[in-house]
Amino acid sequence: MTDALRLAVVGNPVAHSRSPELHALFAQQFGMTLEYDRIECPAGAFVDTVNRLRETGYAGANVTVPYKEEAFAVCDTRTAVADLAQAVNTLHFVDHGVLGDNTDGIGFIRDLTQRCGVEVADRTVVIIGAGGAVRGLMKPLLDQNPAMVVVAGRSPYNAEAIAERFADFGPVQACTYLALKGWQADVLIHASPAGHAGRMPELPKSLLKPAAPCYDLSYGPAHAVFRDWAVARGERPVFDGLGMLVEQGAASFERWSGESPATDAVLQRLKDQLSQSS
């Protein structure tokens, strides 16, 4: 374990991120000194940003939308999980270069199944969105033995690439948002960035089965549009992605520090902070 860590979250947008507060709470559990920055990275500047972080003494960085696939490309070595996902959300700057990991999947499944109590086995799971975040979720989700995972994107190309990538691990089908007509979700996962722009993708009115649980990877104000859309279509449990943030962050923190933080009290602190800020 190191007594001091210098870290950052890199993305665009990133002002909403609770990662600095999250990792500060983790560091407090071990009496560690932590500096954690939000870095909003303009398009085309991701590689230069990573190089600058390495050169100025950062231990690593979390990566959020839209750079998880660019983060995969910038790594010198990657974990098996990241290699399979072809997306990276955790950069660790080590002696031999940049090591890439993907903790999204483990964080997502821990929150969805253990904390939220959502059953996936033998159910049709529909995922809205086909970006780097979805790549990180697929293997852990398929390990839960769903009847089908439908990945829907604005265009067919990214969704089809994901379906092909993970076809050996379980039943996956790709389609566009428009082609979702005819599907009904037992569980709906919202993984598009649309909430950050205050909007929702156009989805069929019949997409949700009665009482189907809905889970949004976003949290805070970006979650509000999806939450309102879901509850307007019938009474059902709707979860935001704050628990996923905490769980994937704990896995990242362990990679950097060698310490495994407790998460329940940290999640409650973040919920309280979001409630006060709203």
Contact 252, 8 (CB under 8 A): no
| CA-angle at 119, arms to 217 and 210, nearest 5° | 85
Contact 237, 212 (CB under 8 A): no
Q: Hey, which residues does 101 pair with through a beta bridge?
A: 90
The beta-carbon contacts of 260-266 under 8 Å, at least 24 apart in sequence, are 261/25, 261/26, 261/29, 261/30, 262/29, 266/22, 266/25, 266/26
Edge-to-edge order in the sheet of strand 90-94:
33-40, 4-11, 60-63, 90-94, 97-101, 77-78
Residue with tokens 């790594």: 75
Active site residue 68: yes
Active-site residue, from 68, 139, 181, 271: 68
What does the block give as tokens for 61? 């960085």
What does the block give as tokens for 19? 């990662």
DSSP letters for 93-109: EETTEEEEE--HHHHHH
Active site residue ranges = 68
